[in-house]
Amino acid sequence: MKVLLTGFEPFGGSPINPSIQAARAIAEMRLEGIDLSTTLLPVDRISGPTTLVLAVETFRPAAVLCLGQTMGRAALSIERVAINLLDFSIADNAGVTVTDEPIVPNGPAAYFATLPVRQMLAAVRDAGVPAELSLSAGTFLCNQVLYSLLHHLAVNGMSIPAGFIHLPALPEQVAGRTAITPSMSLDTMIAGVSAALRSIAS
């Protein structure tokens, strides 16, 4: 099964982003039955979504799983919904902030992820990795690329299942912080995402 797996470049002052680290590590594992292609997405409101759409058009996958990272979560968060809203609490990597703007003017208010989220949830938990279903992908780039992807697939009549998993921070990203912030090792993230991919391809 051809699967596109994406991750983001570092942002917000951190020199690393576990989403692209996990994606690249999983690609090197060569999961049985999965022809995996990985793409690095810029944390940029313009080039992030366009890079993703181009990767879909180029690779023509049977499924798409996007990965992102967010502070404060203690488990792999399998997103269920993307909303038509840009409302950045920090600037993207181009230095742009956006407040209360639609991703697609006059587009649907929201799209549901089309990957088998409950099946993925069970597979990740069976692999011994903390996981949850999430009803909010936020209003930054993670939500934007998921909404943009689902909108592109819908308007072009492309029946490609697609979804998003938020990863926790790495321990080295939160070490030294005054406030206690959840974290997870990269190996644990890789195990969880690999289990999710296997469930998608099963």
The catalytic residues are: 79, 142, 166
To which H or E segment does residue 110 belong? Answer: strand 110-112
* Dmax (CA) of the chain: 49
Q: Answer whether 160's CB lies under 8 Å from 64's CB.
A: yes
CB neighbours (10 Å) of residue 105?
Answer: 7
Q: Which of 199, 185, 201, 200 is nearest to 25 (CA)?
A: 185
- Measured CA to CA, the distance from residue 8 to residue 105 in angstroms comes to 25
Sheet with 76-79: list strands edge to edge.
Answer: 35-41, 2-8, 63-69, 162-167, 76-79, 131-134
